[in-house]
Amino acid sequence: MTTGEAVSPADAPGSDETSPETLSGYAQLWWQGVKYGELGSLPIIVGLGVIVLIFGLLDDTFLTERNFTNLLLQMAAIATIAIGVVFVLLIGEIDLSVAFVSAVGGVVMTLLIRPEDPGWPWWLAIAIALLCTTAIGFVQALVITKAGVPSFVVTLSGLLVWSGVVLILTTQASEVGTIRIQDDTVIGIANDFLSDVQGWIVAVVVVAAFAILQVQTARTRRAGGLVAKPTVVMVLQTLGLAAVTFAAVWYANKDRGIPKVILILGVFLVFWSFIASRTRFGRHVYAVGGNAEASRRAGINVDRVRIAVFMIGGFMAGVGGIMLASRLRSVATNTGSGNLLLLVIAAAVIGGTSLFGGVGRVVSALYGALVIASIQNGMDLLGLASGTKFVITGLVLLGAVLVDAYAKRRRVARGMA
């Protein structure tokens, strides 16, 4: 439950002999954790490596700058919606309605900015759309908590209801069932790119902020006489982050640049990571997912936490829906349908968030979305048939769940879960 890179003290179980104050001790503890099933982000890094290798070999265009920026564009909405799903999974619940709730967000915004009808400004339309999707999360959570109906059933009926609402709204507004977006700002959300210089500035700010946060955390911990991360590890992690960030900006700049939507995603990732790992509310989210009864006895208002989490799910679905609408420059009767739901839940799970609650990090939404989008993108390039794509995506999800189950068995075998 710390911020930062794959390796964090919380991921490394304590040991009798090794001290986490030195680099070798830190690495030893981390490796010990991996062996005992505290895999962290390791499977994702390995998985991404394999994907890049396979598709890079099979298709010449996969590793091009052009495709890299495309990939970022495709990944953004999935990751955004998956952030909300991570929160819902953290409390041990599920939200099957996110895809159509995201569609509701996209449709409501699109309808409100239609020129002259009613021709609202883009910011107001977006605010109303997000208000709607957050309210949907609130209402669904109210049924789940107050009536005691499992979230699976409530959000399953939500899936039907909101798909119906999307159909009604789109067919009423347009005979052909497709509504085009004509507002340049809204289209720009998922179609504009940062300039080269802007991209570099963002990269520098991200790395600097990470480094400063690390140093500050270590300083306050040492000042309080507590064990802190060794400086070498902090330097290595910062260098690692810098390498990835700068490489990404450099490569994207060779094409059109870093998409604006990635910046938006980044802001949400940082914000929700902060909420999850550094605030009282975040702590309560993990506690409710780990042991709801203990949380209740500890005086945590469990229902309120649940409701807030489903509202986060609805809100982030709305944001993702707006990104998707912007990218396609339109909404249609089939918005939110297809495999969107499966992709976002798969992204959260593949990223390392447990389906059983209490385990996972916000950033796993990004990792999972990267994997899922890479596979989709690679298969599109190879021109695979829809059926084949479904089969492969399904197998990848199964593989991720199996890795999780295996890791959990290792933890159980050692009495750690």
**Looking at 35, 66, 146, 297, which residue binds another protein (CB under 8 A)?**
297
Cα 208 to Cα 133, 202, 264, 275: the distances in Å are 35, 10, 19, 20
Q: Is 234 in the site for another protein (CB under 8 A)?
A: no
Residue number with CB closer to another protein (358 or 368)? 358
**Pick 10 or 209: Cβ nearer another protein:** 10
Nearest distance from C-beta of residue 416 to another protein, angstroms: 4
What is the token pair recorded at 254? 């060779």
User: Which residue, 313 or 357, has its beta carbon nearer to another protein?
Assistant: 357
Q: Is 103 exposed, middle or buried (0-12, 13-18, 19+ CB in 10 A)?
A: buried
15 is a contact residue toward another protein (CB under 8 A):
yes
CA atoms of 188 and 2, how far apart (whole Å): 34
H/E element, 180 = strand 178-180
CA distances 107 to 137, 173, 229, 260, 327, Å, are: 17, 10, 47, 21, 13
Q: For another protein, what does the binding mask look like between residues 303 and 342, x meaning CB under 8 A?
A: ----------------------------------------
Stretch that binds another protein, among 102-110, 147-155, 182-190, 407-415 (CB under 8 A): 407-415
**Residue 262 CB-half CA count within 13 A:** 25
Give the interface segment with another protein, choosing from 152-160, 197-205, 231-239, 290-298 (CB under 8 A): 290-298
Q: Does 415 bind another protein (CB under 8 A)?
A: yes
In what helix (H) or strand (E) does residue 179 lie, and over which residues does it extend? Answer: strand 178-180
**299 is a contact residue toward another protein (CB under 8 A):** yes
Say if residues 313 and 38 touch (Cβ distance below 8 Å). no
Choose one: 72-80, 296-304, 306-314, 328-336; the region binding another protein (CB under 8 A).
296-304
Give the interface with another protein as residue ranges (CB under 8 A).
1, 9-10, 13-16, 220-221, 223-227, 278-281, 283-284, 286-287, 289-291, 293-295, 297-300, 357-359, 411, 414-417
